[in-house]
Every structure is written in structure tokens, then in C-alpha cells.
Amino acid sequence: MRVALLALPGSMRSAIAGLADMFWLANQVIMQNPSVNSEVSRSTPFFDVSIITSDGQPVRDVQGRFIESDGAFSDTENFELIIASGMQLDEQRYPADRAAMCNAASWLRISHSKGSCIAGACAGGFVLGEAGLLNGRICTTTWWLYPTFTERYPLAKPVWGKALAEQDNVITTGGPLSWVDLVIHLVRRHLGDQLAKLTADMAVADSQPLSQQIYAPAGFLNATHPLLTKAENLIRYRNPAMTVEQLAEALNMTTRTLNRKMKSLLQESPKSFITRVRIETATLLLESPGKTISQIANACGYGDETAFRRAFTTVMGMSPGSFRERLKTTHSSNAGI
């Protein structure tokens, strides 16, 4: 599989080198496990990776060091997969070299029309946005770039907190180090779950990407608009168990208007918004060792603990108990620093 790693002026060297190394690691796992997915040829490495720049010349990374190039946009060779990864953004949160970004966007657009899968990790998703490849498609970006992303690409359908999204041969991931999740996803996509799990184990990584909501501050997204801030406060502090109808009434609007506004601001339904705020509250309460899961469920508006556990796992990608254990591990590690 021919893979191109897009290198632009201001690209993060760690992302490009990390992607190359992760694909190399995946190749080693594939070669060392011939009995797993025996239909895959072991005569050559499955992933054939090249670093591509606009003109085939080296570019300077985010720290001014050179990133060498293996080819140019104009080369006749087609790539089955092209990845735009993390890069420096300017004060307006555009890639540092806008002309280079526009040139790359054009190449990605043409390549996708010819059948290439296009992926964007972290700020690399902005190049896909400029190419128009996210229009009408489910996608994601890094949590702290989400407000800028939704404003700049109103035709895209970003999902808040999602670690990885794929639609119509376009893949996006969130976070400067999300290229790890991306490679594991690609191994799973082309070679199956078992080789993906083995690759993740070798990289000491999670085989399934975790929700970005683990890292984003509670209420971060809602602070982008007064309506969302008010709605959050109503749910968090007045009545965590409130229904969509009750929320709409408290905001002096119809449920239909509330749904339209939520969809416009967040690509999220009011019901999903209420659930997210409840779960954000739960993540804060789980830091308190004195509260049981049942007590936390009740405090967050859930009369049924099973329903709470199901909602928490859906939003956070892990159970409340696993999240609490993760908090303990994190706090223990920080205490030892």
C-alpha cells in the first residue's frame, strides 16, 4: 500500500517521523505473524511510506529543521493513502504557510477524486477543510481547535470529542499525537482486528482511540456561545434530569427551535447535549473517592445506574469505574514527579 506523508513548511517533525515509524512497526508485526491473516503477502512490506513535499525539496519543520522529501506533488505515482499531520498554526489558526496549504489542498482534492484515501491528523485536518473534503462529511479535530474548525468550515460535520471519524474515504483524528490512533485504525481497516491489536500492543498504545472528552475541560465547548452556557448551567446546577422539552421551556423557545440552534452550533441534538453535560459533571464527581457510582448517577439525573453506566461508556469510551481508576493512576504518577 503506497502511503504519502504530506510535509508542509511548519509541519511537526514528530508527527511525520512518528507516522513513518508506526507504519514500520506495523510492517514488522505483519511479517512476524504470518499465521495471522495469511491472505496478506509477506514478500514485501505492506505499507510503503514516502514523505512528499510540493516540489520535492526539503521543507523546514516547526522548529526550523529540515524535513527531507522523497517526492513531489507532480510525480506521476498515485498513492492509495495520503496523510496530512500536525503543523504550526498562526495567530488566526491557519497553517503557517497559507500558500503551501492551498497548494497541498488542491493536490489532496485531485488525489481524492482519483480514489486516494485522505487522512488528516490534528491540524492536518485544516488542509482537508481547505480542500473541501470535509463538506457534508462527519469529521473531527483536536478539542481546542473545535470552535475555530466549526466556524471556518460550516459545511463540515465535526463531532465534538470524537477521537477518529471516517466517511467516504476521508479520515480525521484529533490531537497532536493522534497519528498513533490513525495508524492502528488503518491496520484494522486493511488487515483486521488481530494485527491491529498486536500493533497497538507493540506500540504500548490503546487499540481503540479514547474520547477527547477525557482531556477537554468540562464546559469548554459550551463556553463558545451564550445560549450554550445558559443551557449548560440549567442542566448542571438547576436540574440534571431535565428533558429536552423542559430545557427548551427554560430557554424560552420551542423544542424545534432548540434543536435547530443546537444542530447549527454543535452538530448535536439537545438530547445529546444534555447527556454530554451530565457526563461531564460525572467526570468531576468521580474524582471524589467518597461517592459511589450509584450516588454519582443520581446526582447527574440518572435514576437508573445501568442507564448511567451505558451513557458514560458511550460518551467517554470507558466505564465509570475504569475512568476512576485512570484518575487514580494519573494522580499517582503526578504525585511522584
Which of these CATH numbers, 3.30.2130.10, 3.40.50.880, 3.40.50.10420, 3.40.50.2300, describes 2-206? 3.40.50.880
Q: Which CATH code of 2.40.160.20, 1.10.645.10, 3.30.450.20, 1.10.10.60 fits the domain covering 217-335?
A: 1.10.10.60
**Residues of each domain in the chain carrying CATH 1.10.10.60:** 217-335
Q: Is the dihedral of CA 327, 231, 274, 161 positive or negative?
A: negative
Model pLDDT for residues 111-152, shown as the tens digit of each residue: 999 999 999 999 999 999 999 999 999 999 999 899 899 889
Instruction: Give me the pLDDT at residue 165, please.
Output: 95
Domain with CATH 3.40.50.880 in the chain: 2-206
Record the pTM.
Answer: 0.83
Stretch 95-105: mean pLDDT: 93
Of 250, 267, 199, the closest CA to residue 21 belongs to 199
Mean pLDDT of 64-90: 93
Contacts of 68 (CB under 8 A, 6+ apart): 51, 58
Tell me which of 4 and 206 has the higher pLDDT.
Answer: 4
Place of cell 467518597: 290
